[in-house]
């Protein structure tokens, strides 16, 4: 998985992020403190570099700028799906014009929207049943 080429590419992409990527990243990185969800940006996964990835939730978040190719995106999404990841995609315009909808969709995908107490729903199976019953 990955390799030196992908690590260098990911580093370059992190250094050259777009305004919408920076905005989304500013919010995503708060999830670690507020919900214990670790999200990485420009994460090498297999032969691709995902815009944002939450490995524990098997979730990849992709932002599509004006120069995305539908065929290449479909190939990436199919590869991610075969690796067990879900991949919601948002256009840069959606992030700018419909911020609340984008955030709500990501929270729902992470299992944070319906959560009232305890860890995110995607981490529930990691907690022994005996501990879950005590909550």
The interaxial angle of helices 99-110 and 19-28, nearest 10 deg, is 50
Q: What is the pLDDT, as a whole number, of residue 16?
A: 65
Q: What is the pLDDT, as a whole number, of residue 115?
A: 43
CATH number at residue 49: 3.40.960.10
- Where in the sequence is the domain holding 47, given as residue range(s)? 4-134
Question: Highest mean pLDDT range out of 5-9, 15-19, 71-75, 112-116?
Answer: 71-75
Strands of the sheet containing 40-45, edge to edge, are 40-45, 48-54, 59-64, 89-91
Structural domain count of the chain: 1
Q: Alpha-carbon torsion 106, 63, 83, 54, what sign?
A: negative
Q: What SS3 class is residue 73? A: helix
Q: What is the pLDDT of residues 37-58, one digit of tens each?
A: 999 998 888 888 899 999 999 9
Report residue 130: phi and psi, to 5°. -60, -35
H-helix segments, the chain: 4-15, 19-28, 31-35, 70-82, 92-97, 99-110, 129-134
Can you tell me the distance from the alpha carbon of 116 to that of 22, in angstroms, rounded to the nearest whole number? 28
Q: What is the pLDDT of residues 61-93, one digit of tens each?
A: 999 887 778 888 899 899 999 999 999 999 999
Cβ within 8 Å of residue 47, ≥6 positions away? 6, 79
pLDDT band of residue 8 (cuts 50, 70, 90) is: low
Closest CA to 94 of 69, 70, 65, 51: 65
Q: What are the structure tokens assigned to 84, written together?
A: 């067990």
Q: What is the pLDDT of residues 101-131, one digit of tens each?
A: 999 999 999 988 654 444 444 444 444 445 4
Pairing of strands 89-91, 59-64: parallel
């Amino acid at each position: 998985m990955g390799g030196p080429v992908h690590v260098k590419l990911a580093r370059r992409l992190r250094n050259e992020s777009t305004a919408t990527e920076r905005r989304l990243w500013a919010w995503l990185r708060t999830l670690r403190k507020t919900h214990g969800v670790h999200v990485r940006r420009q994460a090498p996964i297999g032969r691709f570099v995902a815009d944002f990835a939450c490995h524990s939730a098997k979730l990849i978040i992709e932002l599509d700028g004006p120069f995305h190719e539908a065929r290449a995106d479909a190939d990436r999404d199919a590869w991610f799906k075969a690796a067990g990841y879900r991949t919601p995609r948002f256009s840069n315009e959606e992030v700018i014009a419909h911020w609340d909808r984008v955030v709500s969709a990501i929270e729902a995908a992470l299992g944070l929207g319906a959560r009232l107490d305890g860890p995110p729903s995607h981490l529930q199976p990691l907690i022994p049943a005996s501990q879950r019953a005590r909550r």
